[in-house]
Amino acid sequence: MKRAIVIAAALVFGGLLINAIVDLPSSPVDLRIAVADNMANSGVSHPVTAVLLNFRGYDTLLEIAVLLLALIGLMAAGPMLPPPPNQPADALLQKLARIATPPVIVVGGYLLWAGAFRPGGAFQAGAVLAAAMVLLHLSGLLSAWNAQLLPLARRVILVGGFVLFLCISVALLAAGSLLQYPPHQAGLLILLIESGLTLSLAAILAGLFLFLSRDNGGAP
């Protein structure tokens, strides 16, 4: 009964939604123009990066906060199983991981640098680095993290990028408003922020996996 009602409601809703989408007249505001007009002052030449770290950089700041707090929530509530026995890792997988890691780090670095003028940036770079860490972990070369015993250095790395971002945003308050880059230093500051973010994002994203993982080399 409930099933039938939900499905009927979903059909009606989907129909309305599609109808609304198809009928929609063109929008009165076009931000592409505004973005293009202000690119010169944004400090970067790739529009998405300009929006992400300059025009709507405040969103990004808060978004890192979301990521960080989710990690803390996960540490607070996640399972606390006894540490798993040290399983002998797959030798082939280890070799693969050893070979793959350096190029992955290079790719990450490239993505970070490229973000200023073409697709890429801190998120992608951080995600790639995190993927490398997960790979290392799965091949037994990087142990899981214990949420209850987190060394200070690791905590600093986790929050470092966010703190750097926050500090720069606040320092720029002196110029009039939060995150108001001076046009000439914008490029440099954005690169600085992105570098910090890349490291912290890599650590946080990997942390989402490493705090929970109990599989030393045994992915299903």
Partner 1 sequence: MSSELLFAVVGALIFTLGVAGTVLVANLLRRILAFNLMGSGAFLVLVGLAQRGGESDPVPHAMVLTGIVVAVAATALALALLRKQHEMKDSEEELTEIDDG
Partner 2 sequence: MVEPVTFVVWLIVLPLAWAVAAFVTGERIGAWLGVVGSAIQTFLVVWMVATWDVAVPVIHRVGGWGAPLGIDLAVDGLALAMLLLTQVVSLPLTIYARSYFSEDASKSRHFWPLAGFLIAGLNALFVSADVFNIYVTLEIVGLSAVSLVAIGGGRAQISAALRYLFATLIGSGAYLLGVALIYGAFGSVSLATLIPLVGSNPPQAFALAGLLMLFGLMLKTALFPFHYWLPPAHGGAAAPVSALLSALVVKASFYLTLRLWTELFASIADDIAWIPALLGAGAILWGSWRAIQAIRIKMLIAYSTVAQLGYLFLVFPLLPGQDAIRATVMQACAHGAAKAAMFAAAGVLIKATGQDTMAGLAGMTGRLPLTLFAFGLAGMTLMGLPPSSGFLAKWQLIEAGMARDLWIIPVVALAGGLLTAVYIFRILSFAFLLSPSSVKIATVPRVQEWTAFALAAGSVLLGLRGVELMALLPGQVP
Partner 3 sequence: MSATLAFDLLLSTALVWSAWRTITANRLDQAVVMFIVFGLLMTLAWCRLRAPDIALAEAAIGAGLTGALLLDALGALRKGKTARRRQ
Q: Which stretches of the chain bind partner 2, using CB under 8 A?
A: 16-17, 19-21, 23-25, 27-31, 34-35, 38, 54-59, 62-63, 65-66, 68-70, 72-77, 148, 152, 155-156, 158-159, 162-163, 166, 169-170, 173, 175-181
| Identified binder of partner 1 from the candidate list 38, 44, 73, 100, rule CB under 8 A | 73
Go through the chain and tell me how many residues it has: 220
Q: How far is residue 80 from each of residues 140, 178, 212, 215, measured CA to CA in Å?
A: 20, 40, 9, 14
Distance CA 57, CA 42 (A): 11
Q: How far is residue 136 from each of residues 8, 111, 149, 203, measured CA to CA in Å?
A: 47, 20, 21, 13
Of partner 1, partner 3, partner 2, none, which one sits near residue 10, judging by CB under 5 to 8 A according to partner kind? Answer: partner 1
Minimum CB distance to partner 3, residue 212 (Å):
7
Of partner 1, partner 2, partner 3, none, which one sits near residue 7, judging by CB under 5 to 8 A according to partner kind? Answer: partner 1
| Identified binder of partner 3 from the candidate list 43, 57, 120, 140, rule CB under 8 A | 120
* Window 17 to 56, contacts with partner 1 (CB under 8 A): 17-18, 21-22, 24, 26-27, 31-32, 35, 47-48, 50-52, 55-56
Would you count residue 70 as binding partner 1 (CB under 8 A)? yes
Would you count residue 48 as binding partner 3 (CB under 8 A)? yes
Q: Which amino acid is at 152?
A: L
DSSP for 142-190, written as a single string: SPPPPTTS--HHHHHHHHHHHHHHHHHHHHGGGGTSTT---TTTHHHHH
Whose Cβ is closer to partner 1: residue 2's or residue 184's? 2
Backbone angles phi, psi at 61, to 5 degrees: -60, -50
Residue 25 is given by DSSP the state P
Residue 212 neighbours by CB distance under 10 Å = 16
Task: Tell me which residue of 77, 96, 71, 85 sits closest to 158, measured CA to CA.
Answer: 71
Positions that interact with partner 1 (CB under 8 A):
2-3, 6-7, 10, 13-14, 17-18, 21-22, 24, 26-27, 31-32, 35, 47-48, 50-52, 55-56, 59-60, 63, 66-67, 69-71, 73-74, 77-79, 81, 123, 205, 208-209, 211-212
